Amino acid sequence: MSVLLRWFSGQLATRTRIRVTIVGVIGIAILGWIIASAVDDHDGGLARELGFGLSIPFLALVFGTSAFGDLIERQTLIYLWARPISRWSLAAAATLVAAALASVFAIILMIVFIWTEDLTGVPALLLATLLGTAAYAALFVALGARIPKALVWGSMFVLIWEATVAPQSAALSRLSVRYYVLSIVPDLNDGTRQGVSEWVAVAVLLVMAVGGVALTKWALSMRDIP
Amino acid sequence: MSSQEGRVPPEQNPVSPAEGRGSGKPVEWSSTAVISIDEVSKWFGDVVALSEVTCTFASGVTALLGANGAGKSTLFRAIAGLSPPTLGAVRILGTDPRRSPDVFAQVGMVPQQEALPAGMTAREFVRSCAALSGVANADARAADMLGRVDLDPTDKRDVSTYSKGMTQRVKIAQALVHEPDVVLMDEPLNGLDPRQRVSMIDLIGQLGAEGRTVVVSSHILEEVARLSSRIVVLAKGRLAAVGDYHEIRDLMDDRPHKIMIMTSRPRELAGALLASGAVDGVSVVPPRRTAMLANRVADELPAVLVDTVTVKAFRTQIVRLSRDLGAELFEVRPLDDSLEDVFRYLVGDK
């Protein structure tokens, strides 16, 4: 497993991707600081909208869709496929690495927002960040293993479903990842909807992460290896 | 490489013209078949890439041949578990490679594509492949294998920056680093210079001689002929022939063998051969044409050119007749039993 983790780390943590991500994270942090400076009443909106609503899903998207997407596009997946490795291990290793890399940047950003908005409940915020990143990453790894241009489709999922459609009703919001992430930190809820209990939210996010790995395993077994 | 248990000596190789569906005879599954292709068909939309292909591969080197679009790559990908067949089954060592990745501990693959993972040296890449295949001393094996394909194990360059020839050798190193029993090679000689090709052909021959099952897909027939006489030929998605190409040529009784005879008494021998009934056609060709047929600069004598479907009877008769006539036989040369000729006949390219 350690060789697999190193393999995916090497393929995902390319200089270009890391540099672009660092620039993006710095940009969002600066934007957050500017917004915070202009607003007197800090209610956790930065963490909720810029953090959980935008940064976490997009960080997971960048690393998640590339985990298999890049290997498929570059036609190098064959070197992992033609080895005595279970497809479960392949899916789990890719998800783990994508989630870990995305989490590093997500936590840095979240710390910036916590400091900027002087938020309390730091452990819950960090737990929500980790679990949210893992759930999104698992789903996006599966997406990258299944369809081409997963980055585009994933962006549409985040912007249209997660950010726009799902929040329109209580029933629909329960079908979004964001709903359960925010349920872990009830202080961030904006009052328009009630989340589930923290433990249920944690359990659902863990199920999503494991489900994403299962989806990835299924996607790999269904596809032709280029 | 050391031999391992479960390998079958090449002389026991069961592949023969009788085994393929193309022979028109029922297939009898051999217990020594390492790779079994059973009624495999593959469609891409409305396009039938493979149609009911049945054959087996055993130890030794077998060449997978076919013109562009014949289904060669599709069959290769099905064998390697990269693309599942629409119908039928593929088994390597009795296992479906698509469902049981464990079988890849005994399979090495040289894919056709040139890309290698970026961000690794050749040694790191081959070492990772070895470790993923469960090789204990992965680093030492990687260095050894890179040396065997004439690459420097201490090279610090990113493997993705390698030239085509170097990339090809890295691909071969990663395929062999875990000493697999089964080696699948898709165009393994692509990108290699002539010296490297000779070296690689020797290596492939050695793998076959060690009892490994080596399947080589190639479109360069001259090189395939040097690799192996055993072939699997696909034409338009169907199996055209399986077996030793010399034997296959002998079985083609609808295509007379062309044989050139250099003798001291060409006209007399030509007449005697025709009278004996051992040949279907005979002609005496002038020295200039003889030289061209024999691929020589010049010839001084005319030659006898014979068409015959009964090669065995011809061989008996030519000796007897030349002795009876007191004619010296300088050379008896088949003109159309090369792999290229057999392939051309099989795929219908006149």
Sign of CA dihedral A70, A73, A75, A78: positive
How close does chain A come to B109, measured CA to CA in Å?
7
A201-206 long-range contacts (CB < 8 A, ≥24 apart) are A202/A127, A202/A131, A204/A180, A205/A131, A205/A132, A205/A134, A205/A135, A205/A177, A205/A180, A205/A181, A206/A131, A206/A134, A206/A135
Indicate which of A1, A6, A7, A73 best probes the interface with B, i.e. most B CBs within 10 Å of its own CB: A7
DSSP conformational letter for B95? B
- CA distances in angstroms from A11 to A6, A66, A70, B41, B94, listed in the order given: 9, 9, 8, 35, 34
The percent of residues in chain A predicted with pLDDT above 90, rounded, is: 58
- CA distances in angstroms from A190 to A39, A114, A136, listed in the order given: 16, 17, 22
Torsion of CA B43, B46, B51, B56, to 10 degrees: -20
A positions 45-84 inside 8 Å of B (CB): 71, 74-76, 78-84
Q: Inter-chain contact B82–A14, Cβ cutoff 8 Å?
A: no
pLDDT surpasses 70 at B45? yes
Task: List Cβ neighbours of B145 (8 Å cut-off, separation of 6 or more).
Answer: B126, B130, B173, B174, B176, B177
Block residue for tokens 């495999």: B40
User: Residues B210, B3: contact at Cβ < 8 Å?
Assistant: yes
Facing A79 at nearest CB: one of B98, B134, B174: B174
What is d(CA A146, CA B34) in angstroms, rounded to the nearest whole number? 32
Facing B128 at nearest CB: one of A3, A14, A74: A3
Report residue B249's pLDDT band, with 50, 70 and 90 as the boundaries: confident
Sheet containing B60-66: which strands, arranged edge to edge?
Answer: B107-110, B182-186, B213-217, B60-66, B230-235, B238-244
User: Residues B178, B130: contact at Cβ < 8 Å?
Assistant: yes
At residue B13, the pLDDT reads: 40
Report residue A49's pLDDT band, with 50, 70 and 90 as the boundaries: confident
pLDDT surpasses 60 at B24? no
User: What's phi and psi for B7, nearest 5 deg?
Assistant: -80, 150
Q: Is B133 on the interface with A (CB under 8 A)?
A: yes
At residue A42, the pLDDT reads: 67
pLDDT surpasses 80 at A193? no
Among A5-14, B130-139, B303-312, top mean pLDDT goes to B130-139
Provide the token pair at A96: 């783990």
DSSP conformational letter for B328? P
Domain containing residue A191: 2-222
Q: For the whole model, what pTM was predicted?
A: 0.80
Report residue B23's pLDDT band, with 50, 70 and 90 as the boundaries: very low
Indicate which of B82, B114, B184 best probes the interface with A, i.e. most A CBs within 10 Å of its own CB: B82
- CA distances in angstroms from B64 to A17, A182, B259, listed in the order given: 41, 58, 28
Closest residue by Cα to residue B189 from B215, B216, B229? B216
Q: Inter-chain contact B77–A224, Cβ cutoff 8 Å?
A: yes
Give how many domains chain A has, as a whole number.
Answer: 1
Lowest average pLDDT, out of A68-72, A118-122, A164-168, goes to: A118-122
- B128: helix, coil or strand? helix
User: Residues B215, B140: contact at Cβ < 8 Å?
Assistant: no
Report residue A147's pLDDT band, with 50, 70 and 90 as the boundaries: very high
Sign of CA dihedral A141, A143, A149, A151: negative
Report residue B21's pLDDT band, with 50, 70 and 90 as the boundaries: very low
Q: What residue in A sits closest to B172 (Cα-Cα)?
A: A79
Provide the token pair at B98: 């698509």
First-residue to last-residue Cα distance in chain A: 23
User: What's phi and psi for B43, nearest 5 deg?
Assistant: -115, 145
Residues of B in Cβ contact (< 8 Å) with A84: 101-105, 132-134
Find the largest Cα–Cα distance for chain B.
Answer: 75
What is d(CA B24, CA B280) in angstroms, rounded to the nearest whole number? 26
pLDDT digits (tens, 9 = 90+) for B212-224: 999 998 877 777 7
Q: Inter-chain contact A79–B113, Cβ cutoff 8 Å?
A: no
Q: Is B331 on the interface with A (CB under 8 A)?
A: no
Report residue B349's pLDDT band, with 50, 70 and 90 as the boundaries: low
Residues of B in Cβ contact (< 8 Å) with A82: 80-82, 104, 107-109, 111
**Phi-psi sector, A163: left (phi>0), alpha (psi -120 to 50), beta:** alpha
Of residues B23 and B237, the one with the higher pLDDT is: B237
- CA distances in angstroms from B323 to A47, B220, B306, B319, B327, listed in the order given: 102, 41, 18, 6, 6
Mean pLDDT value across residues B254-278: 88
User: Residues A132, A181: contact at Cβ < 8 Å?
Assistant: yes
Q: How many CA atoms lie within 13 A of B110 on its CB side?
A: 24
Among A65-74, A190-199, B186-195, top mean pLDDT goes to A65-74
Residues of A in Cβ contact (< 8 Å) with B83: 224-225
Facing B120 at nearest CB: one of A4, A10, A83: A10
At residue B26, the pLDDT reads: 36
Q: Is B103 on the interface with A (CB under 8 A)?
A: yes
Q: Is B96 on the interface with A (CB under 8 A)?
A: no
At residue B28, the pLDDT reads: 40
